[in-house]
Amino acid sequence: MGERIHATYWLETSDDPARAAEVIAGEQSSGTFVALATETPELKARSGARVERIELLGTATTPSLPTPKASARYTQCLLELSWPIENLGACLPTLMATIAGNLYELRAVTGLRLLDLQLPPSFAAAYPGPAFGIEGTRRLAGVATGPLIGTIIKPSVGLSPTETAQQVRELVAGGIDFIKDDELQADGPHCPFEDRVTQVMRVVNHHAERTGKKVMVAFNLTGDLDKMQRRHDHVVAQGGTCVMVCLNSVGITGLHELRRHSQLPIHAHRAGWGYLSRSPALGFDYAPLQKIWRLAGADHLHVNGLRNKFSEPDESVIAAARSVLAPVMPSAALTAMPVFSSGQTGLQAHDTYAALGTTDLIHTAGGGIFGHPQGVSAGVEALRASWEAAVAGETLAARATRVPALAGALEFWR
């Protein structure tokens, strides 16, 4: 019995779901719109995608997405398909064309969203996955327990390398664990990558020499491959411990190639996630996509945050974080570290911890740290204290009686 790839979709169709399922399975394997003499029963049995399961969910009278094939009724269901690995081999790019290729455009499809993906062991044999993951990140950041408390350089763009280093100076002095570039800031003429890294790492290294704590800075090296490799090498040469890349900007091939080259953890930003996920009837849940990104080498994966400033609901955020912490497959964990961001403060610590049961994550806050009336140091301390309270099962109010920085933070966090 050969290996098979399983994908589960939310499907809405103007057709009979069983027939629509067969059309999708055909289009994404051996079939096409017309019957072909060369698609023999033997070939179809060997190479055809298989409809594993159809679970009816309900019907609608209007289609979720426009279609030229109107109907009085649109049926919604869960659809599980499977493919023999012999169709494509353990190749992530062709996996995308197979599970997320031309099927979204089919006429009978008025809604299609990839919910789940189960990959066979061959993929873990072909792709190394994160080189550092949780354990390697903790080691490099010098944070044995609790979340990495982090922040983002803001303004997103506009600061010079010197101004960026000045902001980093304040943050490392304040006891932060982790700092990242904004996704808009890679190598703009106003803040060239190499100069920024050099100036920032001078601050980070100086602090490390004095205190023993080397703050992890995720430098956004997103770009063409040769430039990403050069930028990575510069970060290594300056003693840096992390690089950041925008997944949807460089693609699977770009990330995998960076992973092959990289000696540092890869902090993976999902800018553009909205166009892949914002319509409930189209695109992707995070769970299947993040498996692909982890196989390609992502060590840290953004998951938004509870009560974030974007439109993503909390359930979706937690489901995403859980998926990042779950094994890619039973035989290969390849665990990555979820990154929480967007309007975060210590007020989200308890709920986040309750939902995940772990502190193996990066919690980044901007205003929640910088806005502290007693300064950055108090902001970092307050966020850390919030997590300590969550782990200890203590309320923020109780902990605040012993931690003045937290008491101060509770005045302005909301």
The least distance separating a second copy from the CB of residue 381, rounded to whole angstroms, comes to 20
Give yes or no for residue 1 binding a second copy (CB under 8 A): no
Positions in 306-365 near a second copy (CB under 8 A): 309-313, 342-343
Pick from 100, 141, 268, 298: which binds a second copy (CB under 8 A)? 100
- Residue with smaller CB distance to a second copy, 242 or 403: 242
Give yes or no for residue 103 binding a second copy (CB under 8 A): yes
- Residue with smaller CB distance to a second copy, 263 or 275: 275
Pick from 165, 218, 250, 403: which binds a second copy (CB under 8 A)? 250
- Residue with smaller CB distance to a second copy, 250 or 332: 250
Give yes or no for residue 87 binding a second copy (CB under 8 A): yes
Q: What is the contact mask toward a second copy in residues 18 to 37, using x (rule: CB under 8 A)? A: ----------xxxxxxx-x-
Residues 6+ apart with CB under 8 A from 386: 345, 346, 347, 349, 350, 396, 399, 406, 409
Pick from 21, 51, 117, 159: which binds a second copy (CB under 8 A)? 159
Q: CB under 8 Å, gap of 24 or more: what pairs does 359-362 form?
A: 359/145, 359/146, 359/147, 359/387, 359/391, 360/134, 360/147, 360/325, 360/335, 361/147, 361/148, 361/321, 361/337, 362/147, 362/148, 362/150, 362/178, 362/300, 362/337, 362/338
Distances (CA, A) of 253 to 91, 229, 295: 10, 14, 11
Which among 142-150, 222-230, 374-382, 390-398 is the span making contact with a second copy, rule CB under 8 A?
Answer: 222-230
Pick from 175, 367, 375, 404: which binds a second copy (CB under 8 A)? 367
**130 phi and psi, to 5 degrees?**
-60, 135
Which among 5-13, 94-102, 142-150, 172-180 is the span making contact with a second copy, rule CB under 8 A?
Answer: 94-102
Give yes or no for residue 156 binding a second copy (CB under 8 A): yes
Give yes or no for residue 233 binding a second copy (CB under 8 A): no
Pick from 12, 80, 177, 183: which binds a second copy (CB under 8 A)? 183
Give yes or no for residue 161 binding a second copy (CB under 8 A): no
Q: In whole angstroms, give the CA distance from residue 234 to residue 287.
A: 33
Q: In whole angstroms, give the CA distance from residue 13 to residue 5.
A: 23
Burial (Cβ within 10 Å: 0-12, 13-18, ≥19) of residue 182 = middle
Positions in 40-79 near a second copy (CB under 8 A): 43-44, 46-48, 65-69
Q: What is the contact mask toward a second copy in residues 125 to 144, using x (rule: CB under 8 A)? A: --------------------
Burial (Cβ within 10 Å: 0-12, 13-18, ≥19) of residue 37 = exposed
Give yes or no for residue 401 binding a second copy (CB under 8 A): no
- Using DSSP's 3-state secondary structure scheme, residue 235 falls into helix
Give yes or no for residue 297 binding a second copy (CB under 8 A): no
Residues 6+ apart with CB under 8 A from 249: 222, 271, 272
Give yes or no for residue 120 binding a second copy (CB under 8 A): no
Which among 136-144, 203-211, 226-234, 319-327 is the span making contact with a second copy, rule CB under 8 A?
Answer: 226-234
Positions in 253-292 near a second copy (CB under 8 A): 253-257, 260, 269, 271-276, 278-284
Applying CB under 8 A, what is the total number of residues that bind a second copy?
Answer: 101
- Residue with smaller CB distance to a second copy, 133 or 305: 305
The least distance separating a second copy from the CB of residue 398, rounded to whole angstroms, comes to 28
- Using DSSP's 3-state secondary structure scheme, residue 4 falls into strand
- Residue with smaller CB distance to a second copy, 42 or 209: 42
Q: Any bridge partners for residue 11, and if so which?
A: 77, 112
Print the SS3 string covering 17-37.
Answer: HHHHHHHHHHHCCCCCCCCCC
Terminal C-alpha separation, the chain: 56
Distances (CA, A) of 10 to 122, 193, 195, 286: 26, 42, 47, 14
- Residue with smaller CB distance to a second copy, 162 or 211: 162
Give yes or no for residue 203 binding a second copy (CB under 8 A): no
Give yes or no for residue 374 binding a second copy (CB under 8 A): no
Give yes or no for residue 189 binding a second copy (CB under 8 A): yes
Q: Per-residue DSSP letters for 325-392? A: HS-SBTTB----EEEE-SS--GGGHHHHHHHHS---SEEE-SHHHHT-TT-HHHHHHHHHHHHHHHHH
Pick from 54, 60, 78, 96: which binds a second copy (CB under 8 A)? 96
